[in-house]
């Protein structure tokens, strides 16, 4: 099939993959615009990694269709591989080699002559803030440094499409921010990125559109703003001075807001989610009225806030469970692959 002309880097329809009796991917439809970060968000075992490996031609779909830049992943696998790169959940570089040696070796395997390989390795080490550690063995790198050199290895030849499978799992906040900056730079250069993650903040920070998948199916898709709006106009958060007043506060809040108030784990806190049809102005007016009613009922409030929904709330509303921050590798999903 010729190059896709509809502005999409990835298109899937009814994509299916089974392992024995387990239907890991169950009819996924995706449409990933070019030149963007597209987030795939889901709980443990949702099928994120399996879907990515089918798109990268590392697994063969059992049913459905998938195209990358118009090329069918089954019939035109070589054409797909020439356009994509994959960074898996775990670093795939050789820990006994230095950062520079890893990149030079991989560049040579990709067809670069030795001088060009050294030059490209130096460019990436400098761009990723690894120049000072270039001659150190990777086994002496921090987790964040390993992820950076791993991503650098994925773009030795700049791909049109980069699959990043949970690239910041296990990293500290500073290292995570560094990887985020790298992803933004890669997209600015014209590469499309498909990012799987369980870090809700990561999807919110990077992705222009997000697909939420659960048990192998897409259960929601849209921009972060659209997904947040789908669960409500906002949430009122209240902290009381006296925990004994919480039952009365719950009743007053529910009546004033026209929405059930939930008891938080904090014994003096409550939360009420406002209906989605309320505008921002309406939500603020409702919140002010609720605060007034609490005061009229002689309920002392120490803290009161109106916040917009978060992706955490979206995830919980859609899957009925909180997001986990780690996803152990499935027995059916090998952890080190490259395309």
Work out the average pLDDT over 38-48: 89
Chain mean pLDDT for the chain = 87
pLDDT reported for residue 314: 78
- pLDDT above 90: percentage of residues in the chain: 63
Is 61's pLDDT higher than 50?
yes
pLDDT reported for residue 332: 38
3-state helix, strand, coil in the chain (%, to 5): 35, 25, 35
pLDDT reported for residue 142: 92
Q: Mean pLDDT check: name the lowest of 238-247, 298-307, 324-333.
A: 324-333
pLDDT reported for residue 44: 77
More confident residue, 216 or 90: 216
pLDDT reported for residue 3: 63
Strands (E) across the chain are located at 8-19, 22-33, 37-41, 63-68, 71-72, 84-87, 161-165, 192-197, 209-214, 217-222, 234-240, 261-263, 269-274, 301-307
CB neighbours (10 Å) of residue 265? 5
Q: Mean pLDDT check: name the lowest of 139-143, 167-171, 263-267.
A: 167-171
pLDDT reported for residue 63: 97
Contact 299, 248 (CB under 8 A): yes
Q: How confident is the model at residue 321 (pLDDT cuts 50, 70, 90)?
A: low
pLDDT in tens, 170-212: 888 888 898 999 999 999 999 999 999 888 889 999 999 999 9
Q: How confident is the model at residue 315 (pLDDT cuts 50, 70, 90)?
A: confident
Is 278's pLDDT higher than 70?
no
Contact 175, 143 (CB under 8 A): yes
Q: How confident is the model at residue 112 (pLDDT cuts 50, 70, 90)?
A: very high
Is 57's pLDDT higher than 50?
yes
Q: How confident is the model at residue 89 (pLDDT cuts 50, 70, 90)?
A: confident
pLDDT reported for residue 218: 95
More confident residue, 258 or 301: 301
Q: DSSP readout, 80-120?
A: HHTTEEEE-SS--S-TTSBHHHHHHHHHHHTT--HHHHHHH
Gyration radius of the chain over CA positions: 24
More confident residue, 287 or 238: 238
pLDDT reported for residue 258: 82
Alpha-carbon span 220 to 213, nearest angstrom: 7
**Residues contacting residue 104 through CB under 8 Å, at least 6 positions apart:** 114, 117, 118, 121
Is 330's pLDDT higher than 50?
no
pLDDT reported for residue 88: 83
pLDDT reported for residue 251: 95
Work out the average pLDDT over 237-250: 95
Alpha-carbon span 142 to 157, nearest angstrom: 25
Alpha-carbon span 167 to 150, nearest angstrom: 9
pLDDT reported for residue 325: 42
pTM (predicted TM-score)? 0.76
Q: Mean pLDDT check: name the lowest of 79-88, 221-230, 231-240, 243-252.
A: 231-240
Is 335's pLDDT higher than 70?
no
């Amino acid at each position: 099939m010729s190059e896709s002309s509809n502005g999409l880097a990835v298109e899937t329809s009814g994509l299916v993959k089974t392992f024995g009796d387990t239907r890991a991917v169950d009819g996924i439809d995706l449409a990933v615009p070019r030149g963007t970060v597209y987030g795939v968000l889901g709980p443990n075992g949702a099928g994120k990694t399996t879907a990515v490996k089918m798109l990268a031609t590392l697994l063969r779909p059992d049913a459905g269709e998938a195209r990358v830049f118009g090329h069918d992943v089954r019939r035109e696998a070589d054409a797909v591989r020439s356009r994509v790169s994959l960074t898996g959940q775990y670093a795939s570089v050789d820990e006994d080699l230095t950062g520079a040696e890893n990149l030079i070796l991989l560049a040579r395997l990709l067809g670069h002559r030795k001088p060009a390989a050294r030059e490209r390795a130096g460019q990436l080490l400098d761009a990723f803030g690894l120049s000072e550690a270039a001659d150190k063995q990777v086994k002496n790198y921090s987790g964040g440094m390993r992820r950076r050199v791993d991503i650098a290895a994925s773009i030795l030849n700049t791909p049109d499409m980069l699959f990043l499978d949970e690239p910041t799992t296990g990293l500290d906040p500073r290292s995570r921010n560094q990887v985020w900056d790298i992803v933004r730079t890669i997209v600015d250069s014209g590469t499309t990125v498909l990012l799987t993650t369980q870090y809700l903040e990561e999807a919110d920070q990077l992705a222009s559109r997000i697909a939420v998948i659960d048990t192998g199916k897409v259960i929601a898709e849209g921009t972060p703003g659209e997904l947040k709006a789908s669960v409500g106009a906002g949430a009122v958060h209240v902290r009381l001075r006296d925990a004994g007043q919480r039952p009365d506060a719950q009743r007053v809040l529910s009546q004033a807001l026209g929405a059930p108030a939930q008891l938080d784990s904090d014994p003096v806190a409550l939360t009420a989610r406002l209906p989605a049809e309320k505008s921002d102005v309406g939500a603020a007016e409702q919140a002010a009225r609720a605060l007034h009613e609490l005061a009229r009922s002689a309920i002392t409030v120490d803290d009161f806030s109106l916040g917009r929904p978060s992706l955490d709330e979206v995830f919980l509303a859609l899957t009925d469970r909180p997001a986990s921050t780690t996803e152990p590798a499935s027995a059916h999903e090998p952890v080190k692959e490259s395309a």
